Amino acid sequence: MIQTIAFYLFASIVIGSGVLTIMARNPVHSVLWLILAFFNAAGLMVLVGAEFLAMLLVVVYVGAVAVLFLFVVMMLDIDFAELRAGFMQNFPLGIAVAIVLLAEILFGLGAISAGPIELGTADGSATPVLGQSNIENIGALLYTHYAFLFEIAGMILLVAMVGAIVLTHREQKAVRGHQNISKQNQRSPDEAIVMRQPSIGQGIDL
């Protein structure tokens, strides 16, 4: 029973936060919703007994999203003063979200202890679980049965890397400005510093 409730809780929050990811006007909010979606997807993975994938999802995606988040913050012109102005206003909402996440953790822990979820009857044609840990199973399959596809994935990553370099790398034409010591030494304070006292409201000519 508790697994079913936990499943629907995780699933509906994944969908809800997924929708909000694309609906949010503020890119920073989008990223935060995305993180919520990933966390809940990880929760779903735990429910079906794939704890390794759950950890991978959190480590890789939430980690990668943190970088994405940094890029968004750095590259977009976001007015942080305005964002902070709403902080107190949104404080109750923030607390509510925190409580939801806490409840989820407790639910999840309770659900795991009650055993794995029954998602339906298997038709028996899938590869049976070998009774080892997730990591051992994945490793045993990935490097034997799926070795060919694993290598192809490597080629795809190579193409992505070559592509990124082809499209962005530019050969340096001019040598970058080196320090010219004699030029530095020849400068005197008289030429380098100009004192002005502009009247209020007037600019200065340089």
Partner 1 sequence: MEIARSFGLMVPELILGGSALILLLVVAYGGRSVTRAVFIGSATAIGAALIFTVSTVTDNVTGAGAEAFGTQFSADSFAGYAKVLIYLAAMACLAIAPAFLKRFDALRGEYAVLVLLAVMGMGLMVSATDLIALYMGLELNSLAAYVLASFLRDDQRSAEAGLKYFILGALASGILLYGMSLIYGFTGTTSFDGIAAAISGEISTGALFGVIFMLVGLAFKISAVPFHMWTPDVYEGAPTPVTTFFATAPKVAAIALLSRVALDAFGDQVFAWRQVVIFAALASIVVGALGAIGQNNLKRLLAYSSINNAGFILIGLAAATVQGLSAMLVYLAIYVVMSLGSFVAVLMLRNGQGEQLETFDDIAGLSSTRPLMAWCLLILMFSLAGIPPLFGFWGKFVVFQAAVQADMVLLAAIGIAASVIGAFYYIKFIKVMFFDEPVDRATGKATPASWAILIGSAILVSPLAFLLARWLGNQADTAAASLFLG
Q: Which is nearer to partner 1, 21 or 78 (CB)?
A: 21
For 1-39, what is the HEC assignment? Answer: CHHHHHHHHHHHHHHHHHHHHHHCCCHHHHHHHHHHHHH
Task: Give DSSP secondary structure letters for 144-177.
Answer: IITHHHHHHHHHHHHHHHHHHHHHH-----SPP-
Q: In 3-state terms, what secondary structure has residue 121?
A: coil
Min separation Cβ 63 and partner 1, Å: 21
Min separation Cβ 68 and partner 1, Å: 16
Min separation Cβ 71 and partner 1, Å: 17
Q: Which is nearer to partner 1, 67 or 155 (CB)?
A: 155
Min separation Cβ 121 and partner 1, Å: 11
The packing angle between helices 2-23 and 87-113, to 10°, is 150
Q: What is the helix, strand, coil percentage profile of the chain, to 5?
A: 70, 0, 30
Q: Which is nearer to partner 1, 126 or 206 (CB)?
A: 126
Measured between alpha carbons, how far is 16 from 34 in angstroms, rounded to an integer?
A: 10
Q: Which is nearer to partner 1, 21 or 101 (CB)?
A: 21
CB 198 within 8 A of CB 204: yes
- Residues contributing to the site for partner 1 (CB under 8 A): 122-126, 145-149, 152-153, 155-156, 158-160, 162-163, 165-167
Q: Which is nearer to partner 1, 80 or 148 (CB)?
A: 148
Residue position matching structure tokens 């920073």:
28
Can you read off the two tokens belonging to residue 166? 């082809």
Min separation Cβ 175 and partner 1, Å: 18
Of the candidates 20, 186, 171, which has an alpha carbon nearest to the alpha carbon of residue 93?
20
Min separation Cβ 162 and partner 1, Å: 6
Q: Which is nearer to partner 1, 83 or 162 (CB)?
A: 162
